[in-house]
Chains A and B, each alone.
Chain A
Amino acid sequence: MLWEVFIRPRRGLSHTHVGSLHAPDAEMALRNARDVYTRRQEGVSIWVIPASAISASSPDEKDSFFDPAADKVYRHPTFYEVPEGAAHI
């Protein structure tokens, strides 16, 4: 079976997709992921998910699925002018 592997490299960071591997079941997949993707101590936490269990959005749907976010510029920090003298913001 094909599994996708996600690793949290250090505390404070999110899990990141690092690649995939083959394993007969979840227990072996976790162990394989440790051997393959953390040989150089690259991870704190490992998630493995059967590739078939992942639902993905289609690039053709991109316009309607994602573009609404592009309209709402007030979500972006650069939209705002920071008053002079205000620190840490």
Chain B
Amino acid sequence: MSNVLAYGDDALVTAQRLAQWTSRAHDLEEDIALTNIALDQLGAARMLLTYAGEADGRTEDDLAYLREDREFRNCLLVELPNGDFAFTIAKLLFLAAYQHPLYDALRDGEDERLAAIAGKTVKESAYHLDHAAQWTVRLGDGTEESHRRMQNAVDELYPYTHELFELAPSLRGTWDSTVDAVLAEATLTRPADGWKPTGGRQGVHTEHLSYLIAELQVLHRAHPGAQW
């Protein structure tokens, strides 16, 4: 059950980060696409948090707005700042390549409620993965500048991907082949395994999360008990 919270927090923090791209994308079409993905992730977060909260009578909003930083169970990858578009796309590629097989597996799992949720989110996740892959290729195999930015992003983010498999080690193989195929087509390379930051699933986060949570929660906390 604590895994449901982790999946929900991954989606919630991802949605919050992607929402920061509104009115900032390089063209309107991309603004709309990123917002679509943010909305999908937010929808997944709401379903997952609602389910996770039922065990002790807490709502999706109780979980999103009233937990402390150390209580969040998202992976570190999703709480990192957006950076430039290449950084955002690399984050999304790595995340979606994990979420898609994850939801696919949960769809056939024993937890019926989770299976129902995953049935919906797996379709959206396929689109997120496709979107990230399309852009990874165009940026990796675009101009010298875009290639450099994309390779930097891959190099910087790759260490954070190991944590994804702590809860789901069986997904590693699928993730590797998906990501390798995209990187190859994008003329990008994967760095060697080295540093493996971890801690998110235990609530030990980077310094970035606290600021993200503060912004997310500030208004709700300023009016305790209010309806919106």
Contacts and interface: CB of A to CB of B under 8 A. Distances in A.
A and B in contact, CB less than 8 Å: yes
Interface of A: 21-24, 27-28, 31-32, 35-36, 39
Contact of B130 (A22, A24, A31): A31
Interface of B: 27-29, 32-33, 36, 130-131, 134, 138
A35 B32 contact: yes
Contacts of A22: 27-29
A77 to B, nearest CB: 43
B208 to A, nearest CB: 28
A23 to B, nearest CB: 6
A35 B134 contact: no
Mostly, the B contact residues are helix
Nearest to B32: A35
A22 to B, nearest CB: 6
Contacts of A32: 29, 32-33
Nearest to A28: B134
Given A22-B27, A28-B138, A35-B32, 16 more contacts: A21-B29, A22-B28, A22-B29, A23-B29, A24-B138, A27-B134, A28-B134, A31-B33, A31-B130, A32-B29, A32-B32, A35-B36, A36-B29, A36-B32, A39-B32, A39-B36
Contacts of B138: 24, 28
A31 to B, nearest CB: 7
Counting from the closest, the 9 A-B pairs by CB-CB distance are A32-B29, A35-B33, A35-B32, A35-B36, A36-B32, A21-B29, A22-B29, A22-B27, A27-B134
A36 B32 CA distance: 7
For B29, B32, B131, B134, which residue has the most chain A Cβ atoms within 10 angstroms?
A: B29
A22 B33 CA distance: 13
A35 B130 CA distance: 13
A23 B135 CA distance: 12
Contacts of B131: 31
A39 to B, nearest CB: 7
B128 to A, nearest CB: 12
Contacts of A24: 138
A23 B36 CA distance: 17
